[in-house]
């Protein structure tokens, strides 16, 4: 028996009183009662330590001797302490449970943005995912999924979103996507350049083309005019319509680490039943645990008032592979990341014409690239033509 097992075993320390108590000890040993400790007080008193299982036999053999329980040890001692302090322990555990519960409740959601419509939109969207007052906090993975879904749903309005948990409050920081509306519908208008570019294609439906392919234009320059001229005099004003494509330029800075990781599905999957309480999960009879995994979850039972549920999980094993890139590999990865960053802002009929490394900054843990991009992009915008008095 190891030391820990011995300490946990239930034992009783007993005071034995009577004449010539040593005879009683010899009798106990003859009945093979294990005496774990003997402390002789005098010829009439001795304190013994025995296992709890031997106490009844001791009672049967005591005859003229008196037995008095002095103390308990092991599990019995723990039970005694719990029994004596059960109300204190109960209220302490209840208080701790309430504290843990309250610390996992959201009491306030604050969206930081100047535009009230954006704040209202986000508060409504977050409520759809139960990120609102009087609801339980979400795990980091859940927050990341929610952010991704909101950004995908409102990609035309929201550029960037961060949900930060501070105590019992969520601080939501958002950056609005600034998209110039090219669908303005003025009664009388010019088609103008949305940004500086070299014109590559001009599709005119109505109006007069005043700029040619390969011309350089700045933001606001008229490309298709709605003003009809005769002998350099405006004879009529119409609604110019068309579409302009140009070569636009971007300089971006991209960082990429030398050490990076990729997730790969192994093909292994499992079905697991689990009990969830607050943000803790207790898996039941899961004999194939995966170190790294992604989980699909279905709630089977959910308590109305308490934050506890019984769920079915479908974990899928993933392998996280770490790579240590060479300088050339890190540069190629950074270039790839830069392309993805530019492409994420383009429509189907827009594309990268060319790219060029302007500067390579090699640091201890990462590489930093300054990259120049020439992009084939829709630069169409519209400008209203103010009413003018036409000459006779």
Tens-digit pLDDT string for the chain (392 aa) = 567 777 778 888 888 898 888 888 888 888 888 888 888 888 788 898 888 888 888 888 888 888 888 888 888 877 777 787 777 777 777 767 776 777 778 888 888 888 888 888 888 888 888 888 888 888 888 888 888 888 888 877 888 888 888 877 888 888 877 655 545 567 888 999 999 999 999 999 988 899 999 999 999 999 999 888 777 777 788 888 999 999 999 999 888 888 777 788 888 888 888 877 767 777 777 777 888 888 888 887 766 556 677 788 888 888 888 777 788 888 888 888 889 888 888 888 899 999 998 888 888 788 888 999 999 999 999 988 876 554 44
**CB-CB contact of 22 with 64 (8 Å):** no
- Helix axes 116-128 and 140-153, enclosed angle (nearest 10): 130
Distance in angstroms (rounded) separating the CA atoms of residues 161 and 146: 10
Check residue 294 and give its pLDDT: 87
User: What SS3 state is found at 179?
Assistant: coil
Q: How many CA atoms lie within 13 A of 339 on its CB side?
A: 13
* Cβ-based burial of 126 (10 A; exposed 0-12, middle 13-18, buried ≥19): buried
Q: Which residues pair with 263 in a beta bridge?
A: 320
Q: State residue 86's pLDDT score.
A: 76
> What's the whole-model pTM score?
0.43
* Distance in angstroms (rounded) separating the CA atoms of residues 307 and 101: 8
- Residues 357, 372: Cα–Cα separation, whole Å: 6
Return the sign of the alpha-carbon dihedral for residues 222, 388, 234, 242: positive
């Amino acid at each position: 028996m190891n030391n820990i097992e011995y300490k946990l075993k239930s034992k009783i320390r007993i005071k034995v009183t009577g004449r010539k108590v040593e005879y009683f000890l010899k009798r106990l040993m003859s009945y093979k009662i294990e005496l774990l400790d003997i402390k002789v007080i005098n010829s009439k008193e001795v304190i013994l330590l025995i296992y709890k299982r031997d106490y009844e036999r001791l009672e049967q053999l005591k005859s003229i001797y008196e037995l008095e329980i002095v103390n308990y040890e092991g599990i019995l001692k723990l039970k005694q302490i719990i029994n004596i302090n059960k109300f204190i322990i109960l209220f302490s555990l209840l208080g701790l449970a309430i504290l843990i519960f309250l610390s996992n409740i959201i009491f306030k959601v604050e969206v930081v943005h100047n535009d009230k419509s954006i704040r209202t939109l986000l508060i409504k969207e977050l409520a759809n995912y139960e990120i609102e007052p009087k609801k339980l906090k979400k795990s980091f993975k859940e927050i990341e999924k929610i952010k991704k879904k909101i950004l995908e749903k409102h990609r035309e309005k929201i550029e960037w979103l961060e949900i930060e948990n501070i105590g019992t409050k969520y601080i939501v920081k958002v950056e609005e996507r600034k998209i110039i509306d090219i669908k303005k519908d003025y009664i009388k208008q010019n088609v103008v350049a949305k940004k500086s570019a070299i014109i590559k294609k001009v599709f005119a439906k109505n109006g007069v083309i005043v700029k040619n392919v390969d011309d350089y234009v700045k933001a606001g320059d008229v490309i298709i005019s709605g003003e009809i001229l005769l002998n350099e005099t405006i004879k009529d004003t119409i609604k110019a319509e068309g579409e302009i494509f140009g070569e636009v330029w971007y300089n971006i800075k991209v960082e990429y680490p030398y050490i990076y990781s990729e997730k790969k599905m192994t093909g292994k999957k499992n079905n697991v039943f689990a009990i969830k309480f607050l943000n803790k999960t207790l898996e039941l009879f899961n004999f194939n645990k995966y170190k790294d995994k992604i989980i699909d979850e279905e709630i089977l039972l959910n308590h109305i008032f308490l934050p506890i549920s019984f769920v079915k999980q479908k974990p899928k094993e993933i392998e996280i592979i770490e790579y240590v890139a060479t300088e050339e590999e890190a540069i190629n990865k950074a270039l790839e990341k830069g392309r993805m960053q530019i492409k994420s802002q383009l429509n189907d009929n827009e594309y990268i014409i060319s790219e060029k490394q302007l500067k390579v900054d090699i640091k201890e843990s990462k590489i930093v690239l300054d990259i120049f991009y020439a992009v084939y992009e829709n630069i169409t915008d519209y400008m209203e033509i103010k009413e003018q008095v036409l000459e006779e």
